Amino acid sequence: MKQKETMLNTMGIDLARASFEEFGEEHVGTSLETPLREDAFEMDDDLKVELIEKHFREIMNILGLDLTDDSLKGTPHRVAKMYVKEVFAGLNPKNKPAAKLFENKYKYSEMLVEKDITFHSHCEHHFVPIYGKAHVAYISNGNVIGLSKINRIVQYYAKRPQVQERLTMQIGNELKEVLGTDDVAVIMDAYHMCVSSRGVNDTNSSTVTSFFSGKFEVDEQSRNEFLNYVSLKK
């Protein structure tokens, strides 16, 4: 009886693992919001670094690496610090950039385009890099935002485990809220290391996602103007 239960448990684990593998390969996101537990920020960053360092050291041990080697002994701490304070810093709301609006005194009524914003993110299915360019446009409804703040918003949402579709929508929705206008467009063109360095091993393909709202959604001329600015055809 015990042997049968063990066999059933093993089968269940194998089926679950197979399901996870299939889901991960499909690069499917589950929600617009990044999946976070309610207690995600009850633990301070220093403790998170300490705990991740401990667990990553164990991963390296399991892989058979010699942690007494001068090149490797500091790696667990470096990885932990990188995760918490750098590449996944966008998970913490306290790191969200403050976006100050300014009156559009020049009365500039055409679209403003910030193109070729470099971003680095990580695939939430395999924790390997996603990197590329973001192109953002908006049409002022009376207020403007500092150009660097657009870059910072892109970086903030990129610095978390992501799915590119979600990242694109999060940036678009954030700009709509900050600017107080529906007239926002975002295009992201990115390379996924989970595609190029594992799995299918395709090193040439990139993924393009878009977000069109307001005039960019309903007015073909505005949308085409934006696409021409970023040198992407319909």
Tell me the backbone φ, ψ of residue 135, rounded to 5 degrees: -125, 125
Active site residue 170: no
Q: Which of 53, 122, 126, 170 is flagged as catalytic? A: 126
Q: Which of 155, 162, 174, 192 is flagged as catalytic? A: 192
Neighbours of 174 (CB within 10 A): 19
Q: Which of 125, 132, 139 minimizes the C-alpha distance to 155?
A: 132
Active site residue 55: no
Q: Residue 146: helix, strand or coil by DSSP?
A: coil
Q: Is 165 exposed, middle or buried (0-12, 13-18, 19+ CB in 10 A)?
A: middle
* Helix (H) or strand (E) segment spanning residue 65: none
Active site residue 125: yes
How many whole angstroms separate alpha carbon 1 and alpha carbon 6? 9
Rounded alpha-carbon distances, angstroms, from residue 217 to 67, 102, 111, 213: 54, 25, 14, 5
How many whole angstroms separate alpha carbon 69 and alpha carbon 67? 5
Active site residue 194: yes
Please give the distance of CA 182 from its chain centroid, rounded to a whole number.
Answer: 22
Q: Which of 53, 122, 124, 170 is flagged as catalytic? A: 124
Q: Which of 53, 122, 170, 194 is flagged as catalytic? A: 194
How many whole angstroms separate alpha carbon 12 and alpha carbon 56? 27
Q: Which of 125, 135, 162, 170 is flagged as catalytic? A: 125
Q: Which of 123, 135, 170, 174 is flagged as catalytic? A: 123
Q: Which of 135, 155, 162, 164 is flagged as catalytic? A: 164
Q: Which of 100, 185, 208, 169 minimizes the C-alpha distance to 136?
A: 185
Find the distance separating the first CA and the last CA of the chain, reported in whole Å.
63
Q: Which residues are catalytic?
A: 123-126, 164, 192, 194
